[in-house]
Structure 1
Amino acid sequence: MKIKFLGATECVTGSCHLLNIDEYNILLDCGLYQGSDGKENRNSEIGFNAEDIDLVILSHAHMDHSGRIPLLFKEGFKGRVICTKGTADLSNIMLIDCAHIQVTDANWKNKKREEKGLEPIIPLYDIKDAEESLKYFEGYDYDEKISILPNIKLIFRDAGHLLGSAICEILINEMEETERKVVYSGDIGNVNLPILRDPTPVSQGDIVIMETTYGNKEHKAVEENLHQLVEIVKKTFEQGGNIIIPSFSVGRTQEIIYALNKYVEQGELTHCKVYVDSPLAKDTTKIFEKYEEYFDSDAKGLIKMGDNPLKFKGLYFTESTEESIALKDIKEGLVIIAASGMCEGGRVVHHLKNNLEREECAVVFVGYQSEGTLGKKILNGDSEVKIFGEEIQVKAKIYNLEGLSGHGDKKVLHNWLKGFKNKPNTVFLVHGEGDSINSFNREITSKGYKSVIPKKNQEFIL
């Protein structure tokens, strides 16, 4: 058995790992590089022959884990994509949306390139490619033992990171030897978040591949961050401003809606208008409502009492571009939740342009900001940022509520790893950058774990 690390190596995007078991090639995720990770055409270079892949196991629907699957099919892959039912449904809208963005971005850049006499660029894939790939997705339940290939079985455990997100347990009877288990964490969720259950403990694994996004940080308690969010909203409204929340349309947005629902219905937030400015987020919220069995006990309790936690008075979903543009003329009293979460595109960039220069406004980050992204620059305290080619002064108040992130902090990661009754033979650390991954590596090595930080394209015989 061999494993080759093709993405999310010493960075937090582009998740992609290749398992070779007997004569079979299994891909764990096939995600997009984002931010500075995605420069130098890294997304177009998959690093292997797509026709040689037998199967894709998809941990969850976020683009840094799923976003190159249509490219895989475009390059000749003809196999199955195995995931949870929730991930399959979310992928149906997310990959189509991603294809639309690929084409739109390429068209916009090509207008500029044509003016300069440059050759046009070709999008990674188009909507037809995405639609074709989605025909091969197969959704399964959590805790179901799935025979995926001869002598290879798969079990999905709830990762608590996103609706349908999974820890992948791969059970191998290679050459009729004793069964061995490879555990791929995907993204391990935060604890005590609204809506979703906490990550599922795993008690046994020979080889573990795990994420380290927040391997060097401890989050504040979720409830503390939610109270802080309420205070930010109140203070900003008193000062006559708006609150902009850059948020991933899938996952974070629904959790923020859930949290604000509580405070609106309790009367702590009055006259609060919340605009979710993302058609994708509206479609995603409908899928969340379909999968109540994935919810935690608190969310199920509200639903049982007839209270839909994803709806409240004062919550609006924008449909058209015109509705989004109209928000520009409202100068106070709005909470605007819009994608993308790292401010790399989408409607949130327009809202930042309209509000960043206003001292009475606030920008609240609720998720990880990768190096090189606009979100990271704002969070780092840059006094000016470039938006649509224009220098924009950052005068709005900037807040970072990491406790609302969908990623567990170092304490959650340590506790998840400690859940294994016996130390794994090897722990491979991925999906982390800089001190985050290095600090986590030092700590678990000091506790007796054999830990490796793989380089891009590095291969290991297991």
Structure 2
Amino acid sequence: MKITFHGAAGEVTGSCTLIESATATFLIDCGMFQGGGEAYAKNLRALAFDVRRLDFVILTHAHIDHSGLLPRLAMLGYRGPIYTTPASIDLVEVLLLDSAHIQEKEAEWQLRRRHRKGSPARVAQPPLYTVTQAQACLTQVRPAEYDETFSPATGVRCRLRDAGHILGSAIVEVWLEEAGRTRKLVFSGDLGQPGRPVLNDPKLIDDADVLFVESTYGNRLHRRLDETEDEIVDLFQRTLHQRHGNVIIPAFAVGRTQEMLFVLADLVRRGRLAPLTVHVDSPMASKATQITLRHEELLDGPTLDLLDWQRAHPERMRVEFVADAEESIRLNEVRSGAVILSASGMCDAGRIKHHLRYNLPRAECAVLITGFQAAGTLGRRLVDGARLVRLFGEPTPVRAEICTIGGLSAHADQAALLGWLGGFKRPPGRTFIMHGEAETAALFATVVRQQLAWEQVEVPALLQSFVL
């Protein structure tokens, strides 16, 4: 068996692991590299293998850093099935079409900008794929229910388990038969934080011969949820009632937006916040919220109870989904009291950039950062304390308060990761630490060796291969 890491090795994006066994060749995830000026070139260089040899692909969840190059995979000649959960199928359709649309618009904007400056049109970056190509790729997606075993190829059995990260996210168990021997591979995908709002906790797995585990927050502990709630209440009080400004919340359209709506509604229900109107200014987030409500069987008990309360008291927690661009533009005219949830979560694309353009220069406003910000992104520069950023090619001063909260992460922290690993009844024969920035992954590997006494723990490099 040969394993090659085509992404999420020494970084947190571009998840793509190639497995070549005696009976099958397949991918776990096919994600896009995100953040920084090199991302486009890395995405062009990705998938540097004969994709026509693949028997199948399994998608752990819908986030673009795990799904975003699926249309490009199909463009390059892959015609086989892509297996994922039904909820992920619903979400990945929204995310991939949005990704393609953004790329097309970005390419058009670059062409217009270069034309105005007299630069040759040929230097503009074409989209990695188009909306039409994304739609074609979606015809290859097949549903796989949680906890049900299926056989995507000869000598291969698979099962998806709830990862508790976002709606439909999955841990993947794979049993491979080679030379009369069966070996079990387990891919954590992205693991959720236990006790987090909206979703159930990640399922524990008993055993694995080869384990692939994420390490996004393998170097730290998240704040407790009650501490995070205190920070949110204090920020809203300072911004809305003392300074009379706006609160701008960059949020991933899938997962984080729904969690923020839960937390804010719960704080209103408990009287810790005054009645709120929250503007969700992201067509994708609106669709993702509708999809979430269609899959109530995947939500935890407290979330279902809160939904019942909100439906009974719509005047206390109003959620307004911004439908069109004109309505979004009108929000930028609001000088005080607005709470705007908008994508993208790392501030690099979408409508959030317009809201930042109008609110960052205003000292009475606040930007609430609620999730991981990859190196090279605008969100990361804000978190790191930049006092001047560029938006739409123009310098924009940062005078608004930048507040980062850690208790709502969709990723397990170090303690939760160790807790999940502790569910294995014996150490895996080999463990690969991935989906973490290089220093974080290395540190977490050391922690696993020391605290769990696991010996075969490795941190792969990009494009590194291992033969087992």
TM-score, normalised with respect to structure 2: 0.95
Which sections of structure 2, spanning at least 5 residues, go unmatched? none
109, 116, 120: which is aligned to 2:119? 116
- Report what 2:239 is aligned to: 236
- Report what 2:155 is aligned to: 151
- Report what 2:33 is aligned to: 33
- Report what 1:285 is aligned to: 289
- Report what 2:96 is aligned to: 95
Deviation at 1:271, TM superposition (A): 4.3
- Report what 1:186 is aligned to: 189
CA distance in structure 2 between the aligned counterparts of 1:53 and 1:367, rounded to whole angstroms = 34
The CA RMSD measured in Å over matched residues stands at: 1.8
Alignment of 1:391-402 (within 5 A): 391-402=395-406
1:210-246 residue CA offsets vs partner (Å, 9 max, x unmatched): 1110010100112321232122112211111111111
SS at match of 2:389: strand
1:286-334 residue CA offsets vs partner (Å, 9 max, x unmatched): 1000111111121234456784899963211100000111011111111
Deviation at 1:38, TM superposition (A): 4.3
SS at match of 1:404: coil
Q: Does 1:59 align with 2:54?
A: no
CA distance in structure 2 between the aligned counterparts of 1:82 and 1:310, rounded to whole angstroms = 38
Corresponding letter in the other structure for 1:158 = D
> Is the contact between residue 23 and residue 178 of structure 2 (CA under 8 Å) also seen in structure 1?
no
> Is the contact between residue 16 and residue 28 of structure 2 (CA under 8 Å) also seen in structure 1?
yes
CA distance in structure 2 between the aligned counterparts of 1:361 and 1:113, rounded to whole angstroms = 34
CA distance in structure 1 between the aligned counterparts of 2:262 and 2:417, rounded to whole angstroms = 25
CA distance in structure 2 between the aligned counterparts of 1:191 and 1:183, rounded to whole angstroms = 19
> Is the contact between residue 23 and residue 155 of structure 2 (CA under 8 Å) also seen in structure 1?
no
CA distance in structure 2 between the aligned counterparts of 1:271 and 1:209, rounded to whole angstroms = 44
Q: Does 1:50 align with 2:56?
A: no
1:140-185 residue CA offsets vs partner (Å, 9 max, x unmatched): 21111111111211111111100000010111222322x2210001
Pair 1:305–1:391, CA change in 2 (3 A): closer
> Is the contact between residue 303 and residue 309 of structure 1 (CA under 8 Å) also seen in structure 2?
no
233, 254, 258: which is aligned to 2:262? 258
Alignment of 1:173-322 (within 5 A): 173-177=177-181, 179-238=182-241, 239-303=243-307, 307=311, 313-322=317-326
Q: Does 1:451 align with 2:457?
A: yes
CA distance in structure 2 between the aligned counterparts of 1:225 and 1:357, rounded to whole angstroms = 26
- Report what 1:20 is aligned to: 20
> Is the contact between residue 212 and residue 431 of structure 2 (CA under 8 Å) also seen in structure 1?
yes
Deviation at 1:393, TM superposition (A): 1.5
> Is the contact between residue 11 and residue 37 of structure 1 (CA under 8 Å) also seen in structure 2?
no
SS at match of 1:157: strand
Q: Does 1:461 align with 2:467?
A: yes
Pair 1:268–1:40, CA change in 2 (3 A): closer
1:342-366 residue CA offsets vs partner (Å, 9 max, x unmatched): 0111111111111111111111111
- Report what 1:383 is aligned to: 387
Corresponding letter in the other structure for 2:24 = Y
> Is the contact between residue 156 and residue 166 of structure 1 (CA under 8 Å) also seen in structure 2?
yes
Percent identity over paired residues: 39
CA distance in structure 1 between the aligned counterparts of 2:161 and 2:290, rounded to whole angstroms = 23
Deviation at 1:264, TM superposition (A): 2.2
> Is the contact between residue 193 and residue 416 of structure 2 (CA under 8 Å) also seen in structure 1?
yes
CA distance in structure 1 between the aligned counterparts of 2:267 and 2:370, rounded to whole angstroms = 17
Corresponding letter in the other structure for 2:348 = E
Alignment of 1:161-176 (within 5 A): 161-176=165-180
Q: Which deviates more from structure 2 when the two are superposed, residues 116-125 or residues 166-175?
A: 116-125
CA distance in structure 2 between the aligned counterparts of 1:280 and 1:25, rounded to whole angstroms = 33
> Is the contact between residue 274 and residue 315 of structure 1 (CA under 8 Å) also seen in structure 2?
yes
- Report what 2:417 is aligned to: 413
1:380-430 residue CA offsets vs partner (Å, 9 max, x unmatched): 011111111222221111111111110111111111111111001111111
Corresponding letter in the other structure for 1:460 = F
CA distance in structure 2 between the aligned counterparts of 1:244 and 1:401, rounded to whole angstroms = 14
Corresponding letter in the other structure for 2:154 = P
Q: Which deviates more from structure 2 when the two are superposed, residues 73-82 or residues 146-155?
A: 146-155
164, 169, 179: which is aligned to 1:160? 164
> Is the contact between residue 81 and residue 138 of structure 1 (CA under 8 Å) also seen in structure 2?
yes
- Report what 1:126 is aligned to: 130
Corresponding letter in the other structure for 1:60 = H
1:7-58 residue CA offsets vs partner (Å, 9 max, x unmatched): 0110110000000121421101001100027436111222112212111100
CA distance in structure 2 between the aligned counterparts of 1:143 and 1:198, rounded to whole angstroms = 15
1:126-149 residue CA offsets vs partner (Å, 9 max, x unmatched): 111111111111112111111111
Pair 1:354–1:3, CA change in 2 (3 A): same
Corresponding letter in the other structure for 2:259 = E
Corresponding letter in the other structure for 1:105 = E
> Is the contact between residue 262 and residue 306 of structure 2 (CA under 8 Å) also seen in structure 1?
no
Q: Does 1:359 align with 2:363?
A: yes
1:234-268 residue CA offsets vs partner (Å, 9 max, x unmatched): 22111111111110001100110111111223333
Which sections of structure 1, spanning at least 5 residues, go unmatched? none
CA distance in structure 2 between the aligned counterparts of 1:218 and 1:30, rounded to whole angstroms = 28
Pair 1:400–1:57, CA change in 2 (3 A): same
Q: Which deviates more from structure 2 when the two are superposed, residues 138-147 or residues 312-321?
A: 312-321
SS at match of 1:32: coil
CA distance in structure 1 between the aligned counterparts of 2:234 and 2:164, rounded to whole angstroms = 27
> Is the contact between residue 258 and residue 310 of structure 1 (CA under 8 Å) also seen in structure 2?
no
> Is the contact between residue 275 and residue 316 of structure 2 (CA under 8 Å) also seen in structure 1?
no
TM-score, normalised with respect to structure 1: 0.96
Deviation at 1:446, TM superposition (A): 2.4
